[in-house]
Amino acid sequence: MLSERIRLCWVLIAATLFLIAEVAGGVYSNSLALLSDAVHVLTDIGAICLSLFTIWVSSRPAGASKTYGYLRAEILGALFNGLVLWVLVAFIFIEAIHRIQQPHPVAGLPVMALAVAGIAINSFAAWMTYSRGGRGGMATRAVFVDAVADLAGSCSVLIAGGLVYFTGWTRADPAVSMLLGILIIYGSWGLIRDGVDILMEAVPAHIDLEELRKDLLAIAGTAEVHDLHVWCLTTREYALSAHAVVVGEANPDRVLSDMSQVLERKFNIRHMTVQLERDSRRKQEPAHF
């Protein structure tokens, strides 16, 4: 199976060639829908380059000043990409409203031809960046979201070109541009939300904190679990910290081992810090492990 980096490079080549064709076609046909989509493709190219950079950065080893390494570089890159898309949508809406108020002539046939090419290119990009088995990182997911949004946009541009060509209704072109903007916002919302959640160290969406607490309490020798925190280091790395009270006769090494197995096997948490304390009701000094 191709690596994330190789798949992104193939998508980058295809997107760059299509961008050149779409800009030329947009200028020739005077189509806002094509030009808006071309700007979006340009943003996609920037996102791919950023994703390639963040994949490289996030693979760098940890150091004395960054003990977790650069895992969150891809989160910052994907979040930046999503926010840039929203700025792009604002410009699309402004120009589309202007063209709806003052219609411009549009050549429908070139728009349709380039839309068909866009459907093929974006289908290829979506296929290449699809996270097979959930193994893709957030950087690749950002490009996948862009590709899906572009695919829907190309379909919309095809419809707009058909309406202009067959009916002469030129307002279909800016109307589709606005629809494309809405699709971009919808497609990038989940990406931005997940990025913000990770940076805010929210509990991962797939983890039920109370269920996790109950599983830890079910381990023999555990009397209490408090100060429990779970967060994402990145899209595929999770961390946990907690204090656990153990009964006096419990073997602390065995308790920690059992907790480690539960956390890794059921919740996919491999970074854990658990501070063990003896049950104070037995009048013994706390023990930290």
Q: Give the model's pLDDT for residue 116.
A: 93
pLDDT higher for 67 or 5?
5
Q: Which domains, and CATH codes, for the chain?
A: 4-199 (1.20.1510.10), 209-282 (3.30.70.1350)
pLDDT exceeds cutoff 60 at 12: yes
Arithmetic mean of pLDDT over the chain? 81
Q: How confident is the model at residue 135, as a pLDDT?
A: 54
Q: What is the DSSP string of 63-130?
A: -SS-TTTTTTHHHHHHHHHHHHHHHHHHHHHHHHHHHHHS-----HHHHHHHHHHHHHHHHHHHHHH-
Q: Using DSSP bridges, classify how beta strands 222-234 and 271-278 pair: parallel, antiparallel or unpaired.
A: unpaired
Confidence band for 58, pLDDT divided at 50, 70 and 90:
low
Instruction: Report residue 117 as tokens.
Output: 């090419």
Bridge pairing between strands 237-246 and 222-234: antiparallel
pLDDT of 96: 86
Pair 182, 211: CB distance under 8 Å:
no
Asked if the model's pLDDT at residue 100 lies above 80, the reply is yes
Higher pLDDT, 269 or 150: 269
Confidence of residue 63 (pLDDT cuts 50, 70, 90): low
pTM recorded for the entire structure: 0.62
Q: In this predicted structure, which of 107-111, 137-141, 153-157 has the lowest mean pLDDT?
A: 137-141
In Å, how far are 10, 113, 207, 228 from 269, measured between CA atoms?
Answer: 33, 49, 10, 13
C-beta separation of 16 from 45 below 8 A:
yes
Amino acid residing at 95: E
Query: CA 192 from chain center: how many Å?
Result: 7
Give how far the C-alpha of residue 54 lies from the chain's centroid of Cα atoms, to the nearest Å.
Answer: 13
C-alpha neighbours within 13 Å on the C-beta side of residue 10: 15
pLDDT at residue 283, as a whole number: 43
